[in-house]
Amino acid sequence: MASPAAAQDWFLYESEVDQFTVNFPNEPVVENLTFYLPSGKATSARIYTATGDEGIYKVTVVDYGGLNEQDKANAIEDGADIFRHRDGELTLDEFGFFEGSDSQIMQTTNPDNSRSYIVVAYLPERSNLPKLYILEGITPAGGVVAAIFQNSLGWVDSHGTRVRYQRDVEGNRYRVIPDAGGAPLRNRLP
């Protein structure tokens, strides 16, 4: 017998506008909004929300284009602070990597005993994607872990080719050339 999460028809969603991929249980609803940085600056953002049998799954994409270097340097911490200062118990808060980009991986137990599984990520400057990506999968108390969502974050370039980075021995980042592990999701070349 399939578990509730396995019974859902999860699929790899690709946003051409915000150049990310993530597993969703169904087509998300997209909402435009204004996002306020701790400095008080306002910038545009979009929230992609999909509701499934076992939870609510959101990706918030915040546009950092045109913001100063200090705002960009603080992007991950500022995004993570949203969850650090929210009601509930923070049960995991650690630095991580998604596709070679710096990120913060978090988990919280919310006041209603639901659980949030969170990733806050910002790509390297060389990616030319000056955006903060905030994922939150919220599952009910005792529900299935949102790992199929939380661990699926990825990025694509304007041609639909996977974007990921690695570090050399000196700590410099370089883009991994697409191969069998980084083949285009969909070739959008003319």
pLDDT band at 76, cuts 50/70/90?
very high
Percent of the chain having pLDDT more than 90?
Answer: 52
Predicted pLDDT at 169: 77
Average confidence score pLDDT of the chain: 84
Asked whether residue 168 is assigned to any structural domain, the reply reads no
CATH number at residue 46: 3.40.1000
Specify if 167 maps to a domain: no
Residue 1: is its pLDDT beyond 60?
A: no
Q: Which domain holds residue 88?
A: 17-160
Total tally of structural domains belonging to the chain: 1
- Is residue 174 scored above 80 in pLDDT? no
Asked if residue 172 belongs to a domain, the reply is: no
Average pLDDT over residues 48-75: 92
Answer left, alpha or beta for residue 46, where phi above 0 means left and psi between -120 and 50 means alpha. Answer: beta
Instruction: Please report whether residue 171 resides in a domain.
Output: no
Query: What integer pLDDT is reported at residue 164 of this predicted model?
Result: 75
Residue 98: pLDDT band (50, 70, 90) is confident
